[in-house]
């Protein structure tokens, strides 16, 4: 009986011994004990865990969670969480929150804005559904460090959804056509040939023929946020799993896993003023006035200068004739109360969603003089200690009846006249080193002309004048007007691999890359890491007065400190 019991025990023991020997456990245990004994670590078991962790399997994705959250302006957007199986346990690795972007102009009709908000909400709901169902199943068991494979699968999934939408639209059109009586169809096809336009119609047609018509706004597929959100979340998870910062992970992806010896920080384009284009202000030409610190100073010093200028601008914008509240000499409580009331200038109460002061001016010279005066008052010289960039947002200025841009209330200029105006502006104010969207993207000839005239004096940058990232790549060429560079925004179905490929193309064609923040910014600071990792020349984050924007400047400052400490900051 004892022999039988011994035999029964011997079987499992033999099996266990073979199992552990097969995985080299005794050998590695001996190596670990021999290696750690001379060190005599304070936390022996912690050090043993560290030693054996390098032999564990690579973490794999086990779950994706999508949820609807709010961005910095209270609009719905998408959050994607990544869970991985790490050492046999499910663990939450990271999350990403997408920024929302609207192509509706600021002066749009209420019903247009309402329809856009509903479309956004529906798109986020669909994106949440895609993440929690299809993408959750599709990406399970993949390694989060394999960005190319994940992005390829995401791209194929999105292409399939686009085809599905086309089929649904085609079927709906066929059904609608079949439902119409034959007589209606015939009359509809013959009507344009019979109808003659009246005089007003003729004027409109002539005006529109004199300039290229506006290209239609690219429609976004409902749910496209799921693609961009998941791709970014996977990149963040890959960096976390690899125990490296996201910017370094992105740089390694761009340079085929070769770690750069030095890294350059992008120069910030900090929005100082958001210019109103409504009455009583007459100036319509400029949407944003931005400050660019010189490369000779550190990012920290540059941000401090911007803050000083912002404070002085606020003081100058304080309404004239404002009398401080009378203080009560006998009451400390009253004195403290009054001081608190006058501590914040009136201008601070009007902060744009871009995180900067809102103002309105009657002329461009008045606006530039305001900034110049603020700089002079605090001992800074424009063109040496600080530079300016102007976002003209020219696509918002075109009057299609007249075929001209309305630069001031009642003052119009043709595309050719706009070029002459910008040449005069830069010659008069050489401290302006960048113009963003000085013309519509459709005015290709004028883009060529302005680049020939000003290309050596300032950057001419396409933001809204550039196509969406998905349309920028055509046969390895960049489908944009002739310009110095492009503002890229991480929105909708953009994938990390798209940005890597596109910035490589831009670098090869000697265009500069600017990573830009969308209108509806979130508190996710990944955009900064993307800009650093991709080697962007500039980063456009808005102003220094809203939490979701300031958090990105804080991240940029932290990266500067980290690179300086590691001696890898160029």
Residues with catalytic roles: 492
Q: Classify each residue of 155-171 as buried b or exposed e, where b means 16 or more C-beta atoms within 10 Å of its C-beta.
A: bebbeebeeeeeeeeee
Distances (CA, A) of 154 to 13, 225, 255, 266: 48, 11, 22, 29
Rg (CA), the chain: 30
Question: Is 346 strand, coil or helix?
Answer: helix
Distances (CA, A) of 315 to 92, 110, 348: 47, 34, 10
Whole-number Å distance between alpha carbons of 218 and 529: 28
> Taking each helix axis from N to C terminus, what angle separates 496-508 and 526-534, rounded to the nearest 10 degrees?
40
Whole-number Å distance between alpha carbons of 93 and 311: 40
Q: Cis bond leading into 256, ω under 30°?
A: no
Distances (CA, A) of 60 to 136, 162, 227, 454, 522: 13, 29, 19, 52, 28
Beta bridge partners of 406: 412
Beta bridge partners of 78: 68
Whole-number Å distance between alpha carbons of 299 and 557: 7
Q: Classify each residue of 410-442 as buried b or exposed e, where b means 16 or more C-beta atoms within 10 Å of its C-beta.
A: eeebbbeebbebbeebbeebebbebbbbbbbbb
Whole-number Å distance between alpha carbons of 503 and 204: 41
Distances (CA, A) of 230 to 98, 135, 242, 329, 565: 9, 8, 18, 61, 32
Q: Containing H/E element for 569? A: none
Q: Which string of DSSP letters, residue by residue, matches 505-516?
A: HHHHTT-EEEEE
354 close to 288: Cβ distance less than 8 angstroms = yes
506 close to 513: Cβ distance less than 8 angstroms = yes
Whole-number Å distance between alpha carbons of 240 and 257: 16
Give the dihedral sign, CA 518/522/526/528.
positive
Q: In terms of C-beta density within 10 A (0-12 exposed, 13-18 middle, 19 or more buried), how is residue 323 classed?
A: exposed
141 close to 90: Cβ distance less than 8 angstroms = no
Whole-number Å distance between alpha carbons of 204 and 197: 10
What stretches of 180-214 show up as alpha helix (H) in DSSP? 182-194, 199-210
Whole-number Å distance between alpha carbons of 449 and 442: 14
């Amino acid at each position: 009986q004892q022999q039988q019991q011994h035999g029964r025990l011997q079987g499992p023991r033999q099996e266990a011994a073979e199992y552990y020997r097969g995985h080299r456990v005794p050998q590695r245990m001996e190596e670990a004990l021999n290696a750690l004994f001379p060190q005599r670590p304070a936390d022996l078991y912690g050090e043993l865990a560290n030693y054996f962790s390098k032999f564990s399997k690579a973490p794999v994705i086990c779950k994706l969670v999508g949820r609807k959250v709010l961005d910095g302006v209270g609009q719905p957007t998408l959050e994607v969480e990544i869970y991985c199986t790490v050492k046999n346990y499910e663990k939450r690795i990271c999350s990403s929150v997408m920024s929302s972007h609207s192509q509706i102009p600021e002066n749009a009709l209420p019903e247009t804005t309402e329809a856009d908000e509903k479309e956004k909400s529906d798109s986020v709901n669909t994106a949440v559904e895609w993440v929690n169902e299809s993408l959750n199943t599709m990406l399970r068991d993949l390694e989060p460090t394999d960005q190319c494979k994940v992005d390829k699968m995401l791209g194929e999934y999105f292409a399939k959804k686009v085809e599905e939408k086309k089929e649904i639209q085609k079927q709906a059109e066929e059904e609608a056509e079949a439902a119409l009586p034959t007589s209606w169809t015939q009359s509809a096809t013959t009507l344009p040939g019979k109808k003659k336009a009246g005089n007003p119609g003729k004027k409109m047609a002539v005006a529109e023929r004199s300039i290229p018509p506006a290209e239609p706004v690219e429609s976004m597929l409902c749910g496209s946020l799921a693609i961009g959100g998941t791709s970014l979340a996977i990149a963040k998870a890959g960096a976390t799993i690899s125990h490296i910062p996201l910017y370094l992970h992105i740089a390694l992806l761009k340079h085929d896993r070769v770690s750069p010896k030095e890294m350059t920080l992008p120069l910030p384009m900090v929005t100082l003023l958001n210019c109103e284009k409504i009455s009583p202000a007459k100036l319509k030409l400029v949407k944003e006035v931005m400050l660019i610190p010189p490369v000779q100073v550190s990012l920290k010093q540059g941000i401090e200068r911007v803050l000083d200028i912002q404070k002085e601008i606020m003081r100058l914008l304080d309404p004239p004739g404002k009398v401080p509240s009378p203080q009560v000499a006998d009451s400390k409580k009253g004195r403290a109360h009054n001081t608190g009331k006058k501590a914040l200038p009136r201008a601070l109460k009007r902060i744009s969603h871009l995180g900067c002061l809102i103002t309105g001016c009657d002329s461009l010279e008045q606006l530039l003089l305001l900034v110049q005066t603020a700089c002079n008052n605090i001992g800074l010289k424009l063109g040496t200690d600080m530079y300016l960039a102007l976002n003209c947002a020219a696509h918002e200025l075109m009057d299609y009846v007249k075929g001209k841009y309305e630069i001031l209330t009642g003052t119009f200029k043709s595309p050719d006249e706009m070029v002459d105006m910008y040449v005069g502006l830069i010659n008069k104010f050489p401290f302006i080193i960048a113009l963003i969207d000085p013309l519509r993207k459709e005015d290709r000839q004028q883009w060529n002309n302005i680049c020939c005239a000003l290309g050596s004096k300032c950057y001419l940058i396409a933001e809204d004048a550039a196509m969406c990232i998905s349309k920028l790549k055509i046969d390895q060429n960049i489908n944009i007007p002739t310009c110095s560079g492009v503002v890229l925004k991480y929105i909708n179905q953009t994938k990390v691999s798209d940005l890597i490929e596109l910035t490589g193309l831009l670098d090869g064609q000697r265009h500069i890359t600017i990573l830009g923040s969308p209108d509806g910014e979130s508190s996710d600071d990944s955009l900064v890491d993307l800009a650093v990792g991709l080697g962007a020349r500039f980063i456009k984050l808005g102003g220094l007065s809203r939490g979701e924007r300031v958090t990105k400047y804080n991240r940029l400052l932290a990266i500067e400190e980290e690179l300086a400490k590691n001696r890898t900051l160029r």
